[in-house]
Chain A
Amino acid sequence: MGGLEKKKYERGSATNYITRNKARKKLQLSLADFRRLCILKGIYPHEPKHKKKVNKGSTAARTFYLLKDIKFLLHEPIVNKFRDYKVFVRKLRKAYGKSEWNTVERLKDNKPIYKLDHIIKERYPSFIDALRDLDDALSMCFLFSTFPRTGKCHVQTIQLCRRLTVEFLNYIIASRALRKVFLSIKGIYYQAEVLGQPIVWITPYAFSHNHPTDVDYRVMATFTEFYTTLLGFVNFRLYQTLNLQYPPKLERPKDQESKDQDEEAYAMDSESSLEKLSALSASLARVVVPVTEEEEQMDEFPVDGENAEQEEGLRKEREAQEKHKKLFEGLKFFLNREVPREALAFIIRSFGGEVSWDKSLCIGATFEEKEPSITHQIVDRPLPPVPIIGRCYVQPQWVFDSVNARLRLPVEDYFPGVLLPPHLSPFVIEKEGDYVPPEKLKLLALQRGETPGKEAESESEEEEEEEEEEEGEEEEDGEGGDDQEEEEEEEGSEKEEEAKLKVMEAQRTQTKKPQVTMGTLDKRRQLPQEEENEAKRLAIMTMRKREKYLYDKIMFGKRRKVREANKLAQKRKAHDEALKAEKKQQKKARRA
């Protein structure tokens, strides 16, 4: 027969992929160098859809890269730098072996270095692309900046990471970009909004920890190398958008001479600027003094029927955000020694507050403990014997919870020595029908503007103030009020709680959109509801078989959710009751 025979594995997906070892040989690099190159350039291995075809009939698990990607890598100029470095290492080793110290010095002076600027410009053509990858970069830099400087890691990398992270934190403070905080057992999660992009990163706690052995350290170091370069570029650009000087300088107030002497005690001159910057307590110097313009009014579009709601919603959101940014404005905080200083200083300053700490702790303390204008003092130990009147003593969790709740929570729950309410995660958004813990419900109520009234009055007026009573009962300070009052409250609120739970259940099963509000047993509202239910039952009866089947399925799913939510609510009730019983016993013991 004429023509060329078609052989297997000569075209198609078999020729589009290349194994890792073949790619390495094509590039003439060692495995470590190849890995480093792939990480820096952002070339990742691919899993082909039909592994057998690509592997030419065998099913051995191999790592495949796209052939076009490897061909693209061939044109990369830093590949030559890698080879130069290999040669340099060989020469250095020889010189060391022969004890030719002059050669060693000369070689070390001419060590080949490479820069990653062109790779970053190529990988992130626009600034927004770089912001999208900032999550990873920030987490790695924060992680490396907390490493101990033992020499296992390059000390320059650790210092560089520290400097970059401090610059970024200062930017967030200056632009009031922080939105959410979550303290977890792993570390602290922050969410900020930079130029419209939400960025989430994790900061480890300052305590040192053992290094895990199953982590490939060189790979992480390569990632960090790339991310430090990226973060440097991003910092520069961000500072430009705010007209701040980069590299950052602190704003110098008029009287600086006296302070300079004190600062010598904290750090060397060369490092003092970085240390002051990392204290996060002073504001940054600007390039151009900003001319205070009037606030620009947002454009008002003619209200359309459909968009009216959307527009309203957006406008409200914007206002709420503006309010959120000024949460701690006008307040002065003083941090005690035992609280986590960096995290609190960062958060307080990001929302407009002023913060200071004891002089002997760290550089950058702006005012002393005895200042009369301090509004809040953050403590974690029991109260000092002589509390200064005019300032609130709170535990650090008040700051975090206020930030997440977007308003200044009542301080009574956070007094020193009080059992704190749980610290909920702001990253969890509950859907309809899911179980909402009562703490969250309380928070939502607070956000909607219902102020928590105090215990005594609410007994008589049941319906409208049910929520406040709940709060009054939950708050239960150790200091506590009248015993009788408390008992009465407890009984009353128990009944109310049961009623509430029942209504919640009923609401969830019947209404199509169950709202997360406390139910009200209002007789005025029962008639129209009953009418609605009747109409619904009629509609269900007149459905076709097919539709009814679907409807049953949906309702089954919904009911199951509701059942689970109720189970959890019951559990919670049991737990609360157990607590109450304990407290009762304690009080009885005290009385007796």
Chain B
Amino acid sequence: MAGGGAAKRDAGDSGFLGFRSVSVDPGAARRRKRGPRNKKRGWRRLAEEPLGKEVDTFLEDVRLQERTAGGLIAETPDENLFFVDTGHKEKDLKINQDLKKAWTDRVLESQSKVPSPKKSSLQLREGESLAGSPRGSMGLDSSPRQLPVRLLVIEGIRLHTLISFFFPFLQRPQRLQTKPSQAPAVEVIPSGGSYNPSFQDHQALLREAHEVELQRQKVEEKLSRQLAFPTVDKAPTQESEFKELCEGLLEESDGETPAEPEGEGEADSQTQRPPGPEKKTEQQRRREKEARKLKAQQAAERAAKKRHQEVFQLRGIRLQVARRLAELARRRERRRLKRLAEDEKPRRLGRLKYQAPDIDVQLSTELADLEEPEGSILRDRFKSFQRRNMIEPRERARFKRKYKVKLVEKRSFREFP
């Protein structure tokens, strides 16, 4: 501090009047006065000037008085500074003592006018309050948490909602707004599934179920047919087996004779082959080059002519283009329809394929009363989720018994030490 530093230097000096033991160099003083005024030094010098120092000491005095005596002494009332002295001990005590407060409290209370600094609410941690816990840090909170207005206690899920408002990439992406399948959520059973169906509808539904059963039976039959052991009349006999083994062996003699005459024919033609290509002469090269040039020229002329002619063929060309575009549009349309049809079908999502549920239908004999509902809605809903690609088809986890492998050493191989 400039003031403090100056005070140290002037200890013992009557620095106030400017008499110093240190010799004053008038030139140095002038130089010091003339120095740069707009820099830090300029301001520091100001504090060391007599006026600055006076102001400084005055302010320090004021602060000291406020800290220790509770305000400027010049402003305190008489009762706080002086006490009445009548010469009588008891009378003095009575007049001068302050009965309102206890002596211990008076001793402990602070007399300074400067207030102690308080913690701001922003510095508080979760669970703390400005008042502090009444019994110190070890005690439990007797009252429920005081939440000052500025405190924001956000827990996980609200924080998430708040953050995803400010950060768009945390919001749900647009592609998840569409459903995974366009099939309707609840498919109403066809008319034949009514509890009192009309004859035709019931027959139609029975026929469908019948077809499904037929298909299944066919598949089973095919499998059993393929795996069946051959019957006695179809079983292979010794002769047929021998015949099978001999196949392909007896045709060798016929195969040899047609091969021989071919070989001779080849040998003859070899001697009479015309001479191979000889080296081309210059003439030949020139001629070939000219022929090539001519061809290229002609091709270019033809192309140019064609382009000229195309101007007159505009209508035809336009028709061609229109036809091609129509064809492409048709193909696009077909592909789009195909994709739409695919949308309603169940997708292959995992190892297992989607198995359509059995058609719920009651036989004519069972239709009489409402007592036994057919099928289970739980299974129906489960299959509906699978059909709409919301879960993958799963089969029940089978319990596979795994036996522990027991290692046994043969007695004969046991090593005896």
Q: Write the residues of chain A forming the contact surface with B, with a CB cutoff of 8 angstroms.
A: 35, 39, 42-45, 47, 61-63, 68-69, 72, 75-78, 80, 115, 118, 121-123, 129, 133, 135-136, 139-140, 143, 182-187, 189, 200-202, 204-205, 207, 209-216, 219-220, 223, 397, 420, 422-425, 427-428, 435, 437, 439, 568, 571-572, 575
Contact B378 A215 (CB under 8 A): yes
Given contacts A72-B173, A189-B186, whether A118 and B373 have CB atoms under 8 Å apart is no
* Complex-state Cα separation, A439 to B201, whole angstroms: 12
Contact for B381 among A140, A427, A435, CB less than 8 A: A140
B88 on the A face (CB < 8 A): no
Q: Write the residues of chain B forming the contact surface with A, with a CB cutoff of 8 angstroms.
A: 156-157, 159-161, 164, 170-173, 176-177, 180, 184-186, 188-191, 193-201, 347-351, 360-362, 370-382, 385, 389-392, 394-396
Contact A213 B396 (CB under 8 A): yes
Residues of B close to A69: CB separation below 8 A: 173, 176
CB distance from B197 to the nearest CB of A (A): 6
Contact for A212 among B157, B362, B378, CB less than 8 A: B378
* Complex-state Cα separation, A335 to B322, whole angstroms: 71
Say whether chain B's binding surface is mostly helix, strand, loop, or mixed: loop
Residues of B close to A568: CB separation below 8 A: 200
Residues of A close to B348: CB separation below 8 A: 47, 61
12 contacts between A and B (CB under 8 A): A69-B176, A72-B173, A75-B160, A140-B381, A143-B377, A185-B373, A207-B372, A214-B379, A223-B385, A424-B198, A424-B201, A572-B200
* Complex-state Cα separation, A524 to B30, whole angstroms: 138
The 10 A-B pairs with the shortest beta carbon distances in the complex, nearest first, are A422-B198, A135-B185, A425-B191, A185-B374, A47-B347, A423-B196, A427-B188, A63-B350, A184-B193, A44-B180
Contact B382 A118 (CB under 8 A): no
Contact for A423 among B171, B185, B194, B391, CB less than 8 A: B194
Residues of B close to A223: CB separation below 8 A: 385
Contact A61 B351 (CB under 8 A): yes
Residues of B close to A220: CB separation below 8 A: 378, 381-382
Residues of B close to A185: CB separation below 8 A: 189, 193-195, 360-362, 373-375
Contact A186 B382 (CB under 8 A): no
Contact for A135 among B157, B186, B385, B395, CB less than 8 A: B186
Residue of A nearest to B203 (CB): A571
* Complex-state Cα separation, A299 to B347, whole angstroms: 48
Residues of B close to A184: CB separation below 8 A: 188-189, 193-195
CB distance from A297 to the nearest CB of B (A): 36
Contact B194 A207 (CB under 8 A): no
* Complex-state Cα separation, A136 to B197, whole angstroms: 26
* Complex-state Cα separation, A422 to B407, whole angstroms: 72
Contact for A216 among B156, B200, B389, B394, CB less than 8 A: B394
Question: Can you name 11 extra interface pairs (CB under 8 A) apart from A72-B173, A420-B196, A422-B197?
Answer: A42-B176, A44-B180, A45-B350, A45-B392, A75-B170, A139-B381, A186-B360, A211-B376, A214-B379, A219-B382, A219-B391
Contact A143 B350 (CB under 8 A): no
Residues of A close to B160: CB separation below 8 A: 75-77, 118
Contact A211 B378 (CB under 8 A): yes
Residue of A nearest to B367 (CB): A185
Residues of B close to A437: CB separation below 8 A: 198, 200-201
Given contacts A75-B160, A77-B160, whether A186 and B189 have CB atoms under 8 Å apart is yes
Contact B380 A186 (CB under 8 A): yes
Residues of B close to A572: CB separation below 8 A: 199-200
Contact B373 A207 (CB under 8 A): yes
Contact A39 B370 (CB under 8 A): no
* Complex-state Cα separation, A44 to B191, whole angstroms: 33
CB distance from A491 to the nearest CB of B (A): 23
* Complex-state Cα separation, A47 to B345, whole angstroms: 12
Residues of B close to A423: CB separation below 8 A: 194-197
Contact B186 A202 (CB under 8 A): yes
CB distance from A515 to the nearest CB of B (A): 21
Contact for A200 among B186, B196, B395, CB less than 8 A: B186
* Complex-state Cα separation, A63 to B386, whole angstroms: 13
Residues of B close to A68: CB separation below 8 A: 173
Residues of A close to B375: CB separation below 8 A: 185-186
* Complex-state Cα separation, A502 to B382, whole angstroms: 48
Contact A428 B156 (CB under 8 A): no
Contact B188 A200 (CB under 8 A): yes
Contact for A205 among B185, B189, B373, B392, CB less than 8 A: B373
Contact B390 A44 (CB under 8 A): yes
Residues of A close to B201: CB separation below 8 A: 422, 424-425, 437
CB distance from A76 to the nearest CB of B (A): 8
Contact B176 A43 (CB under 8 A): yes
Residues of B close to A136: CB separation below 8 A: 185-186, 381
Find the residue from B156, B377, B390 having the highest chain A CB count within 10 A: B377
Contact for B382 among A44, A187, A215, CB less than 8 A: A215
Residues of B close to A61: CB separation below 8 A: 348, 350-351
Contact B194 A422 (CB under 8 A): yes
CB distance from B175 to the nearest CB of A (A): 8
Contact A143 B195 (CB under 8 A): no
